[in-house]
Amino acid sequence: MERVILRHKIANYLANKIKNIKSGYLGRVRFLLIYFIYHFLPLFGFDYSRLIEWRFILKNLPKNKKLRILDVGCTSSLFIYELARYGKVFGVDARPYFENLPKTIKFLQCDVSKTPFPDNYFDCITAISVIEHIGLGAYTDPAYDNGDFKAMEELRRIVRVGGMLFITTVIGNKYIITPNGNERIYDEERFGKLIEKKFSIAKEEYYIFRRRWVSVDKEKAFLESPVFLPSLKGFGLACLQLIKNTNNE
């Protein structure tokens, strides 16, 4: 177990060093380098969920150079640089974004449940391991009840009808807020309510952690019992591509 924890620390150290190079010109290069590293870390006993999440989105993102895309919770991530290949990109986060962003990427520091964007503005929104944190106040964002539901209502408002929302989050056999108070683990009931009547599911993938992330069916992923150790992840991972329903649904 000590070896696994050490590898976890080394991997995070390397990734953070790459992220902390403040250069918009090298943004995509740095993202691709991290993505490349994450492909090889499982060979050394470390498997980071971000590889699964990024791969799911990039596999299902329309290959259209004219999309208007929003990346939610983009601070501490370089994924926004990869999204810029597909169109005009915006990022929002309650925390400041310290990158030297190129003119093709616009960042707004705001609460995701109260954005300044007009209705039906985006073709595509990505929310990678974000929704479970909103409203808990763990990342300098405001604390309020049901922040995840309020955020989903806002994301539905600003994505166009027929547009898509990519969402990834952690799931398990019961709904809880983690002991450190910074994230939710969704059970099937709450997770279903988060989506119902707002979006339809176009694509979905589920995973559990068994020394590495393993693809499973939905039922098995929701049977996981929450455990909070770097070397043993007792929760599942859900990756969904959602489509906004028509306004009268």
**95-123 per-residue burial string, b: 16 or more CB within 10 A, e: under 16:** eebebebeeebebeeebbbebebeebbbb
How does pLDDT run across 20-31, given as a tens digit for each residue?
666 666 888 889
How far, in Å, CA of 245 to CA of 9, rounded? 42
CATH code for the domain defined by 49-244: 3.40.50.150
Q: What is the residue type of 140? A: T
The pTM of the whole model exceeds 0.95: no
Q: What is the dihedral of CA 56, 219, 150, 164, to 10 degrees?
A: 30
Q: In 3-state terms, what secondary structure has residue 25?
A: coil
How does pLDDT run across 78-110, given as a tens digit for each residue?
999 999 999 999 999 999 988 888 888 999 999
* Residue whose C-alpha is closest to residue 71's, from 105, 33, 48, 96: 105
> How much is the pLDDT for 1?
44
Q: What is the dihedral of CA 227, 137, 213, 123, to 10 degrees?
A: 150
Relative orientation angle of helices 147-158 and 188-195, to the nearest 10 degrees = 30
Q: Hey, where are the domains in the chain? A: 49-244
Residue 43 per-residue DSSP state: G
> How much is the pLDDT for 189?
95
Q: Which residues of the chain have pLDDT under 50?
A: 1-2, 230-231, 248-249
